Amino acid sequence: MASGEITKRLGVSRQRVQQLTCREDFPAPYTELSLGRIWLESEIELWILQCWRPRTARSVAKA
């Protein structure tokens, strides 16, 4: 799963995915190709279940 697929899966911008991949709790890439980093889909899905907290319209309004 490349960052583009993660972007679509989470419904966030490319910049937000870049921020998320820098988090300590985000899975390490499986490999890095000339086109970019690749993550295992199973690890991303597990991270989503355990760690992902999407912003709600309410929390964005408070910010």
Q: Model's pTM, two decimal places?
A: 0.82
pLDDT at residue number 55: 78
Secondary structure (DSSP) of 20-55: HHTSTTSPPPSEEETTEEE--HHHHHHHHHHH--PP
pLDDT at residue number 50: 95
pLDDT at residue number 54: 83
From first to last of the 63 residues of the chain, give the pLDDT tens digit: 999 999 999 999 999 999 999 999 999 999 999 999 999 999 999 999 999 988 775 555 555
